[in-house]
């Protein structure tokens, strides 16, 4: 099972090998971030206590401006270019894969709009360095952020509560993209959504027994509007779909059993109503209730079958995820400190 794995980083080597340097790679998914990328990279500390190397990796998600040129001018060590705009979740996944291939022990994810304070990276990775967590999420001071409207603040709180409920975790800021992962957890991440990775990775970690920590972080002044969705309603709709989909992936029995119970109980109530009228000698006028009862019971039984099938599929998926984990871990553990070509395509 995923939750039984050792999720701790180690600067003393892997599988009994000689001690190796502790490397942190800060990945920045970017789409047309030429105007905000410079302060984002500039604020990343290059010396951190307990870390031997700090490198920066920029994922260019099909930018049409000079984001790549700006990244090169800023001296980033690695650039991954995607063929066209693939979305934040795809850029995040490409960055994780690239960081593992380059031998990262800890991967830090931040946004290219300079939303998060780069100086807080040492604070963010501290629980990982102390082997207290495999995944750390930076908690923003939501109520103190001036450019967040009252509605957005309330929705942020509601969304985080919902994620905590379905994931069984205690994450105060579920939508924060300022995160740190150790190598083992990064090897286990499987993002299937094309919208965003934030909610999905928390639900996955919670259901896989991965230890998660949260630390308070600071935010910078707003430099641009969010591009994740067209408006607030579109974001809420997309997030709800992602949450429901991922929860159903990991809790198919619970989800479909609840649906089945709703239909079965409704069918039983309608059937009981028919029996009451039948006992009173008025059953002939309520045949529709009997038909509806049969229909509801049939739907309930089908939902139960769907839950069983979903659970069998989940078992197969867990085996596939284990295979992917060992493949990624082998690649990451074999990676040398000599990075591949700085400009690659994914």
Q: Could you report the per-residue pLDDT of 73-119, keeping only the tens digit for each?
A: 999 999 999 998 888 889 999 999 999 999 999 999 999 989 999 99
> Does residue 62 carry a pLDDT above 70?
yes
Alpha helices in the chain (DSSP H): 37-42, 67-73, 88-101, 121-129, 150-167, 183-188, 198-208, 232-250, 252-279, 287-334
> Does residue 149 carry a pLDDT above 90?
no
Sheet holding 343-345, edge to edge: 212-216, 135-139, 179-182, 106-109, 23-30, 53-60, 78-81, 343-345
CATH of the domain at 72: 3.90.550.10
Query: Is there a single domain that holds both residue 189 and residue 308?
Result: no
Asked if residue 187 lies in contact with residue 178, where contact means CB atoms within 8 angstroms, the answer is no
Residue 327 lies in a domain: no
- Entry pTM: 0.77
Residue 344 lies in a domain: no
Q: What is the pLDDT of residues 274-331, one digit of tens each?
A: 888 888 877 666 788 889 999 999 999 999 999 888 888 888 878 888 888 888 888 8
Residue 45 lies in a domain: yes
Rg value, the chain, Cα = 24
Give CA–CA dist 98/151, Å, rounded.
37
Specify the 3-state DSSP secondary structure of 259. helix
Query: Is there a single domain that holds both residue 246 and residue 315?
Result: no
Scan for tokens 């205690």, then name that residue. Answer: 170
Query: Is there a single domain that holds both residue 76 and residue 217?
Result: yes
Q: How many residues does the chain have?
A: 346
Residue span of the structural domain in which 280 resides: 252-319
The pLDDT value given to residue 8: 45
Domain-terminating residue out of 250, 274, 292: 250
The pLDDT value given to residue 227: 64
The pLDDT value given to residue 15: 42
Tokens encoding 80: 């991954």
Query: Is there a single domain that holds both residue 209 and residue 149?
Result: yes
Query: Is there a single domain that holds both residue 240 and residue 259?
Result: no
Residue 77 lies in a domain: yes
Asked if residue 82 lies in contact with residue 345, where contact means CB atoms within 8 angstroms, the answer is yes
Specify the 3-state DSSP secondary structure of 89. helix
Residue 340 lies in a domain: no
The pLDDT value given to residue 242: 76
Alpha helices in 34-182 (DSSP H): 37-42, 67-73, 88-101, 121-129, 150-167
Q: What mean pLDDT is predicted for residues 143-159?
A: 83
> Does residue 44 carry a pLDDT above 90?
yes
Q: What is the pLDDT of residues 201-235, one digit of tens each?
A: 998 888 888 999 999 999 988 877 776 656 677 77
Bridge partners (DSSP) of residue 59 are 29, 80
The total domain count for the chain is 2
Residue 335 lies in a domain: no
Query: Is there a single domain that holds both residue 188 and residue 154?
Result: yes
């Amino acid at each position: 099972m995923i939750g039984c794995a050792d999720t701790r980083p180690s600067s003393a080597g892997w599988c009994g090998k000689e001690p190796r340097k502790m490397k942190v790679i800060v990945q920045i998914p970017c789409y047309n971030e030429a105007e905000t990328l410079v302060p984002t990279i500039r604020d990343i500390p290059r010396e951190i206590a307990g870390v031997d190397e700090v490198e920066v990796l920029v994922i260019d998600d099909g930018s049409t401006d000079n984001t790549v040129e700006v990244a090169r001018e800023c001296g980033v060590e690695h650039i991954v270019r995607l063929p066209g705009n693939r979305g934040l979740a795809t850029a995040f996944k490409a960055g994780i894969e690239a960081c593992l291939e380059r031998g990262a022990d800890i991967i830090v994810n931040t946004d290219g709009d300079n939303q998060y304070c780069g100086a807080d990276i040492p604070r963010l990775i501290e629980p990982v360095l102390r082997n207290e967590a495999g995944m750390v999420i930076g908690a923003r001071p939501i109520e103190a952020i001036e450019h967040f409207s009252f509605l957005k603040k309330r929705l942020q709180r509601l969304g985080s509560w919902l994620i905590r409920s379905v994931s069984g975790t205690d994450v105060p800021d579920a939508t924060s993209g300022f995160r740190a992962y150790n190598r083992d957890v990064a090897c286990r991440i499987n993002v299937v959504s094309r919208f965003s990775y934030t909610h999905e990775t928390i639900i996955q970690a919670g259901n896989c027994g991965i230890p998660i920590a949260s630390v308070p972080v600071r935010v910078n002044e707003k430099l641009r509007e969010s591009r994740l969705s067209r408006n607030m309603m579109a974001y809420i709709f997309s997030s709800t779909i992602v949450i429901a989909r991922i929860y159903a992936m990991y809790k198919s029995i619970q989800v479909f059993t609840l649906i089945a119970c709703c239909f079965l109980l409704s069918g039983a109530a309608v059937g009981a109503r028919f029996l009451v009228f039948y006992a009173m000698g008025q059953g002939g006028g309520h045949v529709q209730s009997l038909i509806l009862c049969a229909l509801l019971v049939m739907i309930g039984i089908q939902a139960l079958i769907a839950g069983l099938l979903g659970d069998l599929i989940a078992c197969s998926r867990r085996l596939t995820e284990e295979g992917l984990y060992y493949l990624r871990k082998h690649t990451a553990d074999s990676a040398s400190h000599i990075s591949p070509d700085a400009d690659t395509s994914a």
